[in-house]
Amino acid sequence: MFDTLSDRLSSVLANLRGKGRLSDTDIDSTCREIRIALLEADVALPVVRTFIAGIKERAKGAEVSGALNPAQQVVKIVNEELIGILGGETRRLNLAKTPPTVIMLAGLQGAGKTTLAGKLSGWLKKQGHTPMLVACDLQRPNAVTQLQVVGERVSVPVFAPEPGNGVGDPVAVAKAAIEEAKRAQHDVVVVDTAGRLGIDEELMRQAADIRDAVRPDEVLFVVDAMIGQDAVTTAEAFRDGVGFTGVVLTKLDGDARGGAALSVREVTGQPILFASNGEKLEDFDVFHPDRMASRILGMGDLLTLIEQAEQHFDQEKAQQTAAKLGTGELTLEDFLEQMLAVRKMGPIANLIGMLPGAGQMKDQLANFDEKRLDRLQAIIRGMTPAERADPKIINGSRRLRIANGSGVAVSEVNDLVTKFFDARKMMKQMAGRFGL
């Protein structure tokens, strides 16, 4: 859904890479490009304005962080502002203190309400609830049957009017449903309501009547992310006509620009709770603003990684080590220190998994052997300080002693020493090439 926006933003931010300092002009032109990317993706203008203003102010205020270079700081700011626009913290469903919790779905016809009713109730069931679906869409000829079909697929009972009894009166059906839920001890009731092709008075009145009759704990406004700027106008109409406590974005699997969907939270002030991203009933997720932001910025979970680095790295030490790379003075002591710092951040496979594009490396990651690192650590620890500082003195008899002391074969010690020299040489050459 957000592929184009994601590509654009990633390339704008990639342009900043390698810059030591960012001037105000750099920040202005970056903001201009971000603005164009957002507008082209259909993000509503007032939302774009707020977003850009936030980035500009913070980027120019240049929050100083020891571990991040200026370009990384801008990425961090853009990410945080994007999370803010998307709602900040993940918002959980409000459950009633005294069951049943009543969740009412509202939205235009075709938005994906009935499909969502099935997805949501299936999800609730997996969470240990005992949901019941209620068919209050009595307008569309097939709506009740459609709800019964999805209900059956997720094994959730559907409360629907008996033919000839209460047909045409969704309010009566809704009321009866709540009574039935209490009787049969369903702890959550999901009420599907009728939509129209466009916004109209009658539709709003009916939804408001159902709302008054069942007094829902949550009214979820269901909106098709593919309808572009109309998403915002529709959301405003539903907010004023019925009122809602949360938003569900549907059809996020589509290839439309999707920016309007990103505007709904900011424009209506109501959080996005769920995302529906396919026709299958399992294509459904809790909406996490932070994960969505990462996805849009095409950065994997790089920010978690950066945060962990900020926590665990001694910035001064890292800089000293970096300086030594260029002169070929790196010692095994430095190597051990950096390795320990990296390992404090968590298992290596998890760290690599947070890198963008790490998805394709999954199989290799699964086979990553942390024990090899344990052995490397043991070998270096088995060396004297003089040996670590100047590995060249590690001759045959020293190797044997180190191997015996750290419980590994001499060949492993040889291997480590050879690889260390190779790596040091390579880093020196690279440092020369990049002018470090």
Q: What residues form the annotated binding site for GTP? A: 107-114, 192-196, 250-253
Residue 253 is a binding residue for ligand GDP (CB under 6 A): yes
**Does 73 help bind ligand GDP (rule: CB under 6 A)?**
no
Of 292 and 376, nearer to ligand GDP (C-beta) is 292
Q: How deeply is 68 buried, as exposed, middle or buried, from its count of CB atoms within 10 A (0-12, 13-18, 19+)?
A: middle
Which amino acids are annotated as binding site, given as ranges? 107-114, 192-196, 250-253
Cα–Cα distance between 382 and 399 in angstroms, integer? 10
Question: Which residue's CB is nearer to ligand GDP, number 73 or number 276?
Answer: 276
DSSP assignment, residue 131? E
Q: Please, are residues 103 and 216 in contact by the beta-carbon 8 Å criterion?
A: yes
- Residue 285 within binding range of ligand GDP, rule CB under 6 A: no
Nearer to ligand GDP by Cβ, of 89 and 282: the residue is: 282
Instruction: Tell me the closest approach of the beta carbon of residue 204 to ligand GDP, in angstroms.
Output: 15
Give dist(CA 150, CA 112) in Å, integer.
12
Per CB under 6 A, 230 contacts ligand GDP: no
Q: Given phi > 0 = left and psi -120 to 50 = alpha, else beta, which region is 149?
A: alpha
Burial 146-184 (b: 16+ CB within 10 A, else e): bbeebbeebebbbbbbeeeebeeebbebbebbbebbeee
Ramachandran assignment for 18, one of left (phi > 0), alpha (psi -120 to 50 degrees), beta (any other): left
Write down the least CB distance from residue 112 to ligand GDP, Å.
Answer: 3
**Of residues 70, 87, 100, 112, which one binds ligand GDP by CB under 6 A?**
112
Of the residues 101, 206, 250, 406, which one makes contact with ligand GDP according to CB under 6 A: 250
Work out how close the CB of 136 gets to ligand GDP at its nearest, in angstroms, rounded to a whole number.
11
Q: Are 69 and 86 in contact (CB under 8 A)?
A: no
Contacting ligand GDP within 84-103 (CB under 6 A): none
Q: How far is the CB of 202 from ligand GDP (least distance, A)?
A: 16
Binder to ligand GDP among 54, 84, 99, 110 (CB under 6 A)? 110
Closest CB 111 distance from ligand GDP, rounded Å? 4
Of the residues 27, 38, 47, 111, which one makes contact with ligand GDP according to CB under 6 A: 111
Q: Which is nearer to ligand GDP, 24 or 152 (CB)?
A: 152
* Token digits of residue 255: 């290839």
Q: 10 Å Cβ neighbour count for 39?
A: 13
Report the distance separating Cα 352 and Cα 338, nearest Å. 16
Q: What residues between 265 and 284 interact with ligand GDP by CB under 6 A?
A: 276-279, 283
CB of residue 249 to ligand GDP, shortest distance in Å: 9
Q: Please state, in angstroms and rounded to a whole number, the distance separating the CA atoms of residues 398 and 406.
A: 12
Residue with tokens 């320990």: 340
Considering the rule CB under 6 A, would residue 70 count as an interface residue with ligand GDP? no
Q: Min. distance of Cβ 421 from ligand GDP in angstroms? A: 56
Strand, coil or helix: 258: coil
- Per CB under 6 A, residues contacting ligand GDP are 107, 109-115, 195, 250-251, 253-254, 276-279, 283
